[in-house]
Chains A and B, each alone.
Chain A
Amino acid sequence: DSGVTQTPKHLITATGQRVTLRCSPRSGDLSVYWYQQSLDQGLQFLIQYYNGEERAKGNILERFSAQQFPDLHSELNLSSLELGDSALYFCASSRSGMFTDTQYFGPGTRLTVL
């Protein structure tokens, strides 16, 4: 158990819909990262937040957005969903957000778009 929690575990929705994935970091960790793992793309970095501010951006689509709240939990919002958005979405957290930090991953949310 990494100490990172993600809800929900599974999500099934239809194309065109919007969903919100939630992540609670390990106690004391200030930085949260979001990743997408799909069958054909491997693990892709989406976005990082540190203490409420966006720190780094990866291959995140414009239809996706994220935020980190004052209590440090984070939400990833996916809108206008397409079939290709079906994937496992992982959240990770680290202590300070510096590049040498180890990232601890949550169990993931499996999103299925029908």
Chain B
Amino acid sequence: DQQVKQNSPSLSVQEGRISILNCDYTNSMFDYFLWYKKYPAEGPTFLISISSIKDKNEDGRFTVFLNKSAKHLSLHIVPSQPGDSAVYFCAARAAGNKLTFGGGTRVLVKP
């Protein structure tokens, strides 16, 4: 039962363009969402988060959008840089502090 899904396993984008990563969830009890970035041989690194009371949160080149009615969130990276090449995980948290992760999307930014 995958409560958090990232339907695109990979994404390729040109340097300087926008990267859009999508994430869908099914559990309406999720009320906090996070994005993590993971490089090979390293642990995930926290990137940006959003509470369910908001629909947008921005931090530099990274913006997360939340559409609660559609149970959908997205991460926009503008402009994309070669150093952004990594695997991105979305995660959702419900009461009880259990974090549920999506399967990840591998992003490749081409110079």
Smallest Cβ distance from B10 to chain A, in angstroms? 14
Spell out A's residues near B (CB within 8 Å).
2, 4, 33, 35, 42-45, 48, 55-58, 90, 92, 97-100, 102-108
Give the contact-size bracket for chain B: 20 to 34
Contact assessment for B103 and A104 in the assembled complex, using a CB-CB cutoff below 8 Å: no
Residue contact A105 to B101, C-beta cutoff 8 Å: no
Among A98, A99, A100, find the residue whose CB has the most chain B CB atoms closer than 10 A. A99
Q: By CB atoms of chain A within 10 A, which of B91, B100, B104 has the most?
A: B100
- Which interface residue of A2, A43, A99, A108 has the most chain B CB atoms within 10 A? A43
Q: Are B32 and A42 in contact (CB under 8 A)?
A: no
Q: Is B82 among interface residues, defined by CB-CB distance under 8 A?
A: no
B contacts with A: majority SS: strand
| CB neighbours of A90 from chain B (8 A) | 43-44
Q: CA A92 – CA B43 in complex, angstroms? A: 9
Closest B-chain residue to A88, C-beta based? Answer: B43
Contact (Cβ within 8 A) A45 B45: no
Q: A42-B104, A100-B32 are in contact. Are A105 and B97 (CB under 8 A)?
A: no
CB distance from A25 to the nearest CB of B (A): 13
Contacting residue for A102 out of B43, B49, B51, B97, CB 8 A: B49
A104 touching B46 by the CB < 8 A rule? yes
